[in-house]
Structure 1
Amino acid sequence: MRLLKLLTLALPAALAACNHTSPPPTSDHDWPNFGGDGREQHYTDLDQVTMATIDQLSLAWYYDLEPGFSVSAPVKGGDKLFTTTGHNHIRAFNAATGELLWEYDPGVRDLAQSPLHMSWGNKGIAWWNERVFMATTDGRVIALDDTTGEPVWQQRQFELTELRNSNGAPRVFDGKVIVGHGGADISPIRGYVTAYDAMTGEQLWRFYTVPGDPSQPPANKAEAVMQPTWQGDWYGKGGGGTAWNSFSYDAELNLIYLGVGNGFPYNHLLRSPGGGDNLFLASIVAVNADTGEYVWHYQVCPAEQWDCTATMDMTIANVELAGKPRKVIMQAPKNGFFYVLDAATGEFISAEKFAKVTWAEKIDPATGRPVENPGIRYQNSGAMFELWPGVQGAHSWLPQAYSQETGLVYLPVMEVGTLIGPLPPGMGGFSANMGALVLPDADLPGSRKSFLKAWDPVAQKAVWSLELPGDWPGGVLATAGGLVFQGRMDGYLKAYNASTGDEVWSYKTVAPIVAPPIAYSVAGQEYISVLTGSGSQGGGILATGNAAYRTDYALPRRVLTFALDGTAQVPSFAMPERVAAIDPDFVPNKEQVMAGAMAFATNACIVCHGMNAIGGGAAPDLRFSAMILDESAFKAVVHDGVLKARGMPPAPQLNDQQVEAIRHYLRMRALQAPAELEALKAGGALPVSDAQPVSTGT
């Protein structure tokens, strides 16, 4: 019966393909928000591109982008496609032809006063009612006219002097622009989410995610819930709770859901000496969409201290539980458990492990609270120990997708372990801020892997699983045509059978793809669009796990848009040969190498240039940069900021000795690079010749 059903569904489309005719046209579909609509399903009900027609999918148009971050999802409104790259550079295209209509650069690099304003890239924009909305990394919220690209209004969410940044995509729900921010890893800021009127820019409400001054009475219901969960002398020393990425919306319930991040410092008892759960850290919080008033919350990591965030996408769907339909919200946060909650009340329904988890045995079905494993809190530990998932999480901001056809969630999963332990006396830099010693990308057995898993949220188990190249899995798109699309670190866009996980289509892009694809239609024609290029943690802190793949900063970054019977072709590309920046007279000094490695890590160089200086495409790989051979040029870039206009922030806090120590460390890493590349080639991970020509296309 199953085979007969599949044949019945596939026959009309197959006949159409044989006759070289397109399926009947559908009405135009927009993709106005990062996840499509407020449900954040990353799903399209367009069904021209199906299992029967996938062989006809080919490139319709492309556009070459500048080097830099290009990890965001496009949005589509009306007849236009909009993209953002790097430091909030917006472009508008004719969605059917790819004609460039306008560009807008908000000048983030000119205004930025902190490296925080220039790091991590920009992950998305939103569209609504003929306007494009962005949240700049330096704290502005801007609405643009979608026809001209001219600003309509601008608001400042936070001041340039504050240790905050905003790199997640804003959302527009029912005429309200919802914006959050980051910064909780480096400062005891008080996180919040702000709603603006999409037409006027007027601030409508602001929801704080951690409490204010405990000496004052609660200002509202949310404050009354939070205050008792922070204990001891914490105010002004602890905080965090930034909601920098994920928001969802249910129009029927009139609820907006906020995904809240980690605390500062990481060490719970330094943050809140008297203990307590520290709400609303690591929580999903539902608020009234009109007023921002608290409705309910669920905390995934009470008293979190492992950079355990709930900032991953929250998917709203109707599922059948115990024989009855139920509206749920589903999330796979960093901590490795897949959660299903009642969308109206926040009632805990179920949670099971979707990755390797050592911090907790299970989630108690009666209380919804984790059952922590003994010794997992590092304050009482005498040494570093393995933590799974590591601080990078089992799932990051790269979104999952939910198929209304299969009822499955398609989940990009990471298996990356961390070494974590108590802070040694006298330790400074970033570790001191966290209150713990953390090696985020430790060389552990079974680590540095990634998967695409089809997860049954009712049965709470994987239906199928695919191991992926590298450890930074791309975002996902599910379609009514029975397909799942995902980009990969090895420079491919792939399509899989949503029911079985079988690969049914691929396109060679040369550059990695980590951004989620989207789907839309114009004049009845369905399109699939994605941006190529590496960035974010996979191009920086987690670059070690992707070293087997060419992720170079200057690989061709493009907007690629596909349709049935597309005729566009991109030019062939010769992979550039990498030559390590080696000075034959250089003799490494052990003490200076160690000092430089520490300065490289603790001054956030690893954020863009990679752990162990292994570049992953977020910024140039400095092992192959001639700049490290010139002392004055290196200082001009690192300390003085001569390349700030190109996205390299200055580091005036470094003295001459520290700058030179970093350069010394990088020169040592350049010496090691050829042998490391040869080892990867010997293992079959890299082409025998780095300059091997690559043909792009299907």
Structure 2
Amino acid sequence: MTDRMLRTGAHACTFVLVLLLAACQPKDRQQSVSGDWPNFGNDGNEQHYSPLDEINQTNIDKLKLAWHFDLEPGFSVSTPVAAEGKLFVTSGHSRIRALNATDGKLIWEFDPKVREIAMSPLHMGWGNKGLSYWNHRVFIATTDGRVIALDAASGKPAWEQRQFELSELRYNNGPPRVFDGKVIVGHGGADVSSIRGYVTAYDADTGKQLWRFYTVPDDPSKPAANKAEEVMRPTWKGDWFGKGGGGTAWNAFSYDADLDLLYIGVGNGFPYNQQMRSPGGGDNLFLASIVAVKADTGEYVWHYQVCPAEQWDCTAVQDMTLATLPIDGKPRKVLMQAPKNGFFYVIDAVTGQFISAEKIAKVTWAEKIDANGRPIENPRIRYQNHPEMFELWPGPQGAHSWLPQAFSPKTGLVYIPVADIGAMIGPPIPGDTSLLAAMGATIIVDPELPGSRRSFLRAWDPVTQKEAWSHELPGDWPGGVLATAGDLVLQGRIDGQLVAYEAKTGKQVWSFKTVAPVVATPISYRANGKQYVTVLTGSGSQGGGILATGNAAYRTDYRLPRHVLTFAIDGTDVLPKYEMPPLVPPADADLKVDANLTMQGAMAYASSGCLVCHGMNAIGGGAAPDLRYSPMIVDANAFKAVVKEGTLKLNGMPPAPIPDEYLEMIRYYLRVRASQSK
């Protein structure tokens, strides 16, 4: 056989395999061909991939702004959905708008009044990340625990269900999904109490609860209620019930229609310290796990745990991408995830069998994942047994957070927003009464470490488990990713750029300068026969607070104009010019800096949770005002009225139950930080 014949035969085999893989794509893949974008990741495969190719490498230079819509200050990191010629957007505290998809004109808006109803800072401290569309309805899970269905034409509520009571230490900021007429919703809260996490399915037509799946076990003194209970219970040991829990599934859900399987990404436990949570040890299922359940009933099918006995906020709530890949030369349904822990996993989507995992970032907690799918741990990650602090990579922020990866069936590559951020972790400090003490650990979330506070866009081959290409990005909070059939990859950046790359090579081919940072994930849809790309601008959520230090070199101001930006070939819109306002701290002639008082104030600021919205080290990250420049900090009465009495609750600042002595410590610390910012 000649070389030419061999090459021809190889090409033919490759072509047949590509056709076979395309035929094996789950049913939901065919639904996206309409040009709509109905769910967070487009369809149940959560690939964040658009099959539209009108915008491609040959005409990307003609991609221009088609229209823009102004948003209010606050959280604007959500992923919109598109259907019926409309674009549906949520921002702030679960506010929803329907816009004309071709020109951005407002059709209707709906405010669920979260700011008026919410009773806890938990309900207002995190921005909503998305919504869903199905059968002429739009669905939102509000941060205060309601699931609401709206008529897509009018915006009027069709039904409303309360998922949890306002008094519970739960909140919801993840996007709901609608698969096969079922609204799938989880919730958060495992960082603050030992609640029992669960996922709920509602009938999309009626709002009736169909099933509820619990992610950690119930009272062991009672008979096991189902197969999931039987699997979980032996992995929790000692006197744990009522003291340990967690496992909230607040973000990631995927769905394979052919298998009728729903995949749930489960979060961390509480307390972090496993000796406090489960004194007898054990893996503590289903913490930090991917769980497959029957979509119709919620019945357990299989699980895979990425961090057995997790105790450092190791979660599996990052998006799970479904695809069919050539594994050992044969097409195989797989689930791909880059959880927080720094490894990229490929798992059999039918059985949960481990296939492979490799590092995508710096990792110190484990050497590798063995052939059985279990990590070979660094003993230091069991920090209870080591008095000195351990340099933890990735830190609690994760090598990959909730901002989604994308997958292109055309290139076979996964495009992952990766962060390299280290932390220090150790046993609790005796006498500490802060929230960290309740977690059972001492954590320095964002210390000065060589090589830390970096981020990348990495194109990863899931078959070979090797990097195809990579770009280092500004800051340490990389935006969500979109891949398209036009062989393009689009991603926003913290420096206020929306960028397009060639999907195969990583060559940058286009960019657009925005006013505010771009953290949200772009989508692409077709309306009136034309392809559009849309993204929201503005920083917020975790990247607007806890990671503020790594992005301090870039303006992420709360005051910066936020927009819905929509692009098309030969668009004609232009953003109005914007002059960056100067940052001027308030005059404070009476301040006398004392190192001891400053340290006390810094501890009070951190332990009271102020940093979640207002930034690490009081460096504003865009989720809320930068308090170093607020006139409130030099007026004790005004500061108390805002922080403790809730005078700005309707603006999004809930009253915080902070003791008066802590309040003054925090105010003093902010005054010092303001003086240092001059």
The correspondence for 1:665, drawn from 660, 664, 669, is 669
Quote the residue 1:600 is aligned against: 605
**What letter matches 2:196 in structure 1?**
R
Q: CA-to-partner distance for each residue in 1:219-266, whole Å, 9 max, x for gaps?
A: 000000000000000000100000000000000000000000000000
> How far is the alpha carbon of 1:637 from its aligned partner?
0.4
Residues 1:46 and 2:52 aligned together? yes
> How far is the alpha carbon of 1:649 from its aligned partner?
1.2
Q: CA-to-partner distance for each residue in 1:93-116, whole Å, 9 max, x for gaps?
A: 011111100110001111111100
CA distance in 2, matches of 1:212, 1:460: 38
1:456-471 mapped onto 2 (5 Å cutoff)? 456-471=461-476
Q: CA-to-partner distance for each residue in 1:291-323, whole Å, 9 max, x for gaps?
A: 000000000000000100000000000111111
Q: Are the counterparts in 2 of residues 400 and 476 from structure 1 also a CA contact under 8 Å?
A: yes
Q: CA-to-partner distance for each residue in 1:624-662, whole Å, 9 max, x for gaps?
A: 1111111111110011110010111111x2222211111
Q: CA-to-partner distance for each residue in 1:492-526, whole Å, 9 max, x for gaps?
A: 00001111111100000020001000000012100
Quote the residue 1:506 is aligned against: 511
**What letter matches 2:676 in structure 1?**
Q
Quote the residue 1:243 is aligned against: 249
1:584-663 mapped onto 2 (5 Å cutoff)? 584-651=589-656, 653-663=657-667
Quote the residue 1:317 is aligned against: 323
CA distance in 2, matches of 1:503, 1:590: 47
**What letter matches 1:125 in structure 2?**
L
Q: CA-to-partner distance for each residue in 1:267-286, whole Å, 9 max, x for gaps?
A: 01110000000000000000
**What letter matches 1:660 in structure 2?**
E
1:473-622 mapped onto 2 (5 Å cutoff)? 473-622=478-627
What SS class does the counterpart of residue 193 from structure 1 fall into? strand
Q: Are the counterparts in 1 of residues 380 and 390 from structure 2 also a CA contact under 8 Å?
A: no
Quote the residue 1:677 is aligned against: none
Quote the residue 1:266 is aligned against: 272
Q: CA-to-partner distance for each residue in 1:467-507, whole Å, 9 max, x for gaps?
A: 00000000000011110000000000000111111110000
Q: Are the counterparts in 1 of residues 429 and 437 from structure 2 also a CA contact under 8 Å?
A: no
Q: CA-to-partner distance for each residue in 1:176-196, whole Å, 9 max, x for gaps?
A: 000000000010100000000
Q: Are the counterparts in 2 of residues 534 and 551 from structure 1 also a CA contact under 8 Å?
A: yes
Could you list the runs of 5+ residues in structure 2 that have no partner in the other structure? 1-6, 12-31
**What letter matches 2:311 in structure 1?**
Q
Q: Are the counterparts in 2 of residues 170 and 179 from structure 1 also a CA contact under 8 Å?
A: yes
The correspondence for 2:429, drawn from 424, 429, 448, is 424
TM (normalized to structure 2)? 0.95
Q: Are the counterparts in 2 of residues 582 and 670 from structure 1 also a CA contact under 8 Å?
A: no
Q: Are the counterparts in 2 of residues 60 and 563 from structure 1 also a CA contact under 8 Å?
A: yes
What SS class does the counterpart of residue 604 from structure 2 fall into? helix
Q: Are the counterparts in 2 of residues 527 and 561 from structure 1 also a CA contact under 8 Å?
A: yes
Could you list the runs of 5+ residues in structure 1 that have no partner in the other structure? 6-25, 675-698
> How far is the alpha carbon of 1:357 from its aligned partner?
0.3
Moved over 2 A (4+): 589-592
What SS class does the counterpart of residue 574 from structure 1 fall into? coil
CA distance in 1, matches of 2:586, 2:431: 34
Residues 1:132 and 2:138 aligned together? yes
Q: CA-to-partner distance for each residue in 1:401-435, whole Å, 9 max, x for gaps?
A: 00011000000000000111110111112111210
> How far is the alpha carbon of 1:27 from its aligned partner?
7.3
What SS class does the counterpart of residue 379 from structure 2 fall into? coil
What SS class does the counterpart of residue 195 from structure 1 fall into? strand
CA distance in 1, matches of 2:136, 2:163: 22
CA distance in 2, matches of 1:663, 1:375: 37
1:136-535 mapped onto 2 (5 Å cutoff)? 136-365=142-371, 367-535=372-540
Quote the residue 1:66 is aligned against: 72
> How far is the alpha carbon of 1:358 from its aligned partner?
0.3
* Cα RMSD after superposing both structures: 1.3
CA distance in 1, matches of 2:69, 2:528: 21
**What letter matches 2:597 in structure 1?**
Q
Q: CA-to-partner distance for each residue in 1:22-79, whole Å, 9 max, x for gaps?
A: xxxx974110000000000000110011000101100111000000000000001111
CA distance in 2, matches of 1:360, 1:197: 42
**What letter matches 1:429 in structure 2?**
S
Q: CA-to-partner distance for each residue in 1:191-222, whole Å, 9 max, x for gaps?
A: 00000000000000000000000111210000
Q: Are the counterparts in 2 of residues 609 and 619 from structure 1 also a CA contact under 8 Å?
A: yes
What SS class does the counterpart of residue 205 from structure 1 fall into? strand
TM (normalized to structure 1)? 0.92
CA distance in 2, matches of 1:611, 1:650: 20
**What letter matches 1:31 in structure 2?**
W
Counterparts in 2 of 1:582 and 1:443: CA distance versus 1, 3 Å: farther
CA distance in 1, matches of 2:48, 2:100: 22
CA distance in 2, matches of 1:195, 1:323: 37
Deviates more, 1:620-629 or 1:488-497: 620-629
CA distance in 2, matches of 1:654, 1:328: 48
Quote the residue 1:15 is aligned against: none
> How far is the alpha carbon of 1:170 from its aligned partner?
0.1
What SS class does the counterpart of residue 535 from structure 2 fall into? strand
CA distance in 2, matches of 1:37, 1:150: 25
Number of residues paired by the alignment? 650
Q: Are the counterparts in 2 of residues 27 and 523 from structure 1 also a CA contact under 8 Å?
A: no
Quote the residue 2:18 is aligned against: none
CA distance in 2, matches of 1:603, 1:433: 13
CA distance in 2, matches of 1:147, 1:104: 12
What SS class does the counterpart of residue 380 from structure 2 fall into? coil
Q: Are the counterparts in 1 of residues 291 and 304 from structure 2 also a CA contact under 8 Å?
A: yes
**What letter matches 1:618 in structure 2?**
A
Quote the residue 1:690 is aligned against: none
**What letter matches 1:666 in structure 2?**
L
Quote the residue 1:108 is aligned against: 114
Q: Are the counterparts in 2 of residues 27 and 524 from structure 1 also a CA contact under 8 Å?
A: no
CA distance in 2, matches of 1:476, 1:120: 21
What SS class does the counterpart of residue 573 from structure 1 fall into? coil
CA distance in 2, matches of 1:535, 1:430: 23
Quote the residue 1:688 is aligned against: none
**What letter matches 2:600 in structure 1?**
A
What SS class does the counterpart of residue 219 from structure 1 fall into? coil
**What letter matches 2:201 in structure 1?**
A
Identity score, percent: 70
CA distance in 1, matches of 2:595, 2:474: 34
